[in-house]
Amino acid sequence: MHYALAPRTLFFSHYFYTGLRIATGVVGLTFLTYAIADLPTAMAVAMGALCTSLMDLPSPLRHKFNEMLAGVLTCSLVALLVSLCSPIPWLLRTVIVLVSFLASMMTVYGRKAMPLQFVALFVMMLSSDDAATPLQALRHGALFFAGGAGYMTYAMIVVWRLRRRLKQQVLAEALYELAAYTGIKAGCYDMANPLPAQMEKLVRQQSVLAERQQASRDLVLRGKPREDEAVLVRVHYAMFDLYELVLSTHTDYALLRQHFAAGPVLPLLGDLIGKAARDIESVAYAMTRNRPSRAVVDYRGELDALDAALRALPPADSDDVNAQAVLRATSNKIRDMVAMIARLHAASATAGGTLPMAAGSDLTPFLTQQRYNLGTLVANLRWTSPTFRFSLRVAMAISVGLLASEWLPYTSHGYWTALTIAVILKPTFSMTRQRRADRLIGTLIGCVLTAVILRFVHSPAVLIGFLFVATAAGPTFLSIKYRYTAIAASVQALLLIGLTVPNGAGAIEQRLLDTLLGALIASFFSYVLPSWEYQNLPELVDSVADANRGYIDAAADLLLGRAVDDARYRIQRKRFMDALANLSAALGRMLDEPAAQQRAPAELNRYTVQNYLLMAHMAALRLLLQRYADNLPRADVEAALEHAFARLRGTLGAAAQAGPAAPHDSTARVASWPGWAPLQRRLRLLQQDAAQVAQCHGVIDAALGRAVHRSTSKTADAGWN
């Protein structure tokens, strides 16, 4: 379950704060306007505020300003244009098709643009409901702009005042996801959990974690931190150090399961890592409450039991030597993890001190950049572009929805059909399918709930209270449980009708029928001009392969001492994680599509897991050299690494650089170094997983009908994924 769905954590999350901020702003502006004007004026201002509030998402201040300003200007223009055209039916239909198409084309700029696409469609349908004279259209557009600009001003002031709080909450969310990631890792030591299925969960959670960590970077690391924000920077860096340590332990489950399935060792390892997950969660919990965290988890009993189990191991034969060595190494890594979590607690409690990043460090490669250029949109105005086909699909579906609503026995809320289509119809089939189910179930529950409220509650003040709750709940659950948002949206719309329209009987039944009709139309058009996920897979697979090679090159430079610091390594690791997350997300969406449109799902899943393991091996290799830094035979180790990296490049399809031959382990210098055997084993596993990656890539190429020669060219179409 998502952490923000639990009552214990919901009310301290940025999701709840966002919902509360939006409800206060929208309802407050509405009542303020109503106090000095009439109800129609207040409703027009409320519409502008509500539409602008849909762009009020957690973002850096500059990005938020740009996003909300784009929403205000775009939606005000759409409202004015549609209102001006509303008296002429054929012109109105033409503008609706044009706006639907252009608004949907904006999704080419990525997920950040999807709220703007919906808001534009939302405004278009609300403004087309009633015919207006030119003067009325100008007045409506001006009031809409006033509401949007008023809400934007309010939201920017509130977010600026609470910017440290928002950074805390987003950083805490990344810690919650790291705790969930660590908890899944604990399940890998439970023999009741099939290891392949558990590894799939781990990779899926890795994708979610990468997204939350990026959100944390964008807020915490952007700009010069204030004095009271220094603690957030320290916690952020400590979180990533802990993540790399946790990542490095994800490579040896099969061997440990094979040799220690019957003893007490695996349950002890699972219990320790499960406790570590709860410990990380306690840091996140304290951070959401704006207080330093204190270590409350006691590991001593499990650590003592693990030490006793290690001492009780029988003398190892030739087959068990490696397994016992891996077990001891895993025990050491868990101890390091416990110590790192203690550092995380300390970072959250330390107010002063120096920051962990060098002064003047360029963090631009780690941060999300806003790039909205016209060339990207123009480049996608072609038949082969998924965004172009999606835009045509939306324009056709909304046109059919509006035409169909004219044949219904009622006309007062016919735009609900088109609104349902806009909500459900998404760029991918899987998103459309999920939204359809959530919208139908949520609308049904919302209608029943509103009917009960209106049946027993007649006080306007109490109804306004319910309206405020619904207005807050909608944005709160928008990105974590859309079904709840659908419930809230239905309650909000129907309560507004109940409060403002004296003869609004029948609105609940109409809402249900409009939603059902819209869902049917959206379902039909989800098969029109489709863009199936397998069509994007070649580019995503090549992106992973390219990022993999870049990560290996950066790791080689770092481990061989050719890099001044680990900045390039971290950048390439982030790039590799992002590429894996994109492929993993596409695979998940493909599995929701019809079976006839799926390609090599098992091989793709294996490919993502093997790439993930390769990244984990590399992190483990780095930590291994740090652990055995004393008396390290540098020349021999560097020769072994050069040889291993050259083989890796050749295996993964890059031009292998000539390196020295791997040294023999007969010299006294090498034999006396305790890290030599673990290093050799790690390099062997690294090569084995690289071979698995290359093999999976070949199978995927064959399944996708591609030649063995692979291109790494990029296109603008990937933006909407």
Q: Does position 416 have pLDDT exceeding 80, yes or no?
A: no
- Identify the pLDDT of residue 414: 59
Position 356 confidence tier, pLDDT thresholds 50, 70, 90:
low
Q: Write out pLDDT tens, residues 240-288.
A: 889 888 887 766 788 888 888 888 889 999 999 999 999 999 999 999 9
- Identify the pLDDT of residue 299: 93
Q: Is 311 exposed, middle or buried (0-12, 13-18, 19+ CB in 10 A)?
A: exposed
Q: Write out pLDDT tens, residues 16-42.
A: 999 999 999 999 999 999 999 888 899
Q: How many CB atoms lie within 10 A of CB 358?
A: 10
Q: Does position 662 have pLDDT exceeding 70, yes or no?
A: no
Q: Rounded to two decimals, what is the model's pTM?
A: 0.87
- Identify the pLDDT of residue 654: 57
Amino acid at 661: A
| Domains, the chain | 1-161 (no CATH), 170-366 (1.20.58), 387-531 (no CATH), 534-720 (no CATH)
Q: Write out pLDDT tens, residues 376-385.
A: 888 999 988 9
CA distances from 590 to 578, 593, 601 (A): 18, 5, 8
Average pLDDT over residues 461-479: 91
What is the rounded CA–CA span in Å between residue 180 and residue 173? 11
Q: Report yes or no: 261 and 139 within 8 Å, Cβ to Cβ.
A: no
**What is the token pair recorded at 70?**
């784009």
- High-pLDDT (> 90) share of the chain, %: 35
What is the rounded CA–CA span in Å between residue 509 and residue 505? 9
Could you tell me if residue 653 is left (phi over 0), alpha (psi between -120 and 50 degrees) or otherwise beta?
left
Q: Following CA atoms 11, 13, 19, 21 in sequence, which dihedral angle do they give, to the nearest 10 degrees?
A: 100
- Identify the pLDDT of residue 715: 29
Average pLDDT over residues 81-99: 89
- Identify the pLDDT of residue 317: 65
- Identify the pLDDT of residue 366: 77
What is the rounded CA–CA span in Å between residue 107 and residue 687? 40
Q: Does position 164 have pLDDT exceeding 70, yes or no?
A: yes
Q: Does position 412 have pLDDT exceeding 90, yes or no?
A: no
- Identify the pLDDT of residue 655: 43
Short-list 540, 582, 575, CA closest to 555? 575
In the Cβ-directed half-sphere of 535, how many Cα atoms lie within 13 Å? 16
Report helix, strand or coil for 475.
helix
Q: Give first-to-last CA distance, the chain, whole Å.
A: 24
Position 591 confidence tier, pLDDT thresholds 50, 70, 90:
confident
Mean pLDDT of the chain: 85
Q: Report yes or no: 348 and 232 within 8 Å, Cβ to Cβ.
A: no
Q: Report yes or no: 158 and 21 within 8 Å, Cβ to Cβ.
A: yes
- Identify the pLDDT of residue 634: 86
Q: Write out pLDDT tens, residues 499-544.
A: 776 555 567 788 888 889 999 999 999 999 888 888 888 999 999 9
Cα angle value 86/89/90 (rounded, 5°): 120
What is the rounded CA–CA span in Å between residue 59 and residue 425? 25
Q: Does position 647 have pLDDT exceeding 50, yes or no?
A: yes
Report helix, strand or coil for 192.
coil
- Identify the pLDDT of residue 286: 94
What is the rounded CA–CA span in Å between residue 183 and residue 189? 11
* Better-predicted residue by pLDDT, 658 or 89: 89
Residue 685 CA to its chain's centroid (Å): 31
Using the structure block, give the residue that is written with the tokens 């863009």: 531
Average pLDDT over residues 448-472: 90
- Identify the pLDDT of residue 711: 37
Least confident of 440-444, 533-537, 628-632: 628-632
Average pLDDT over residues 432-442: 92
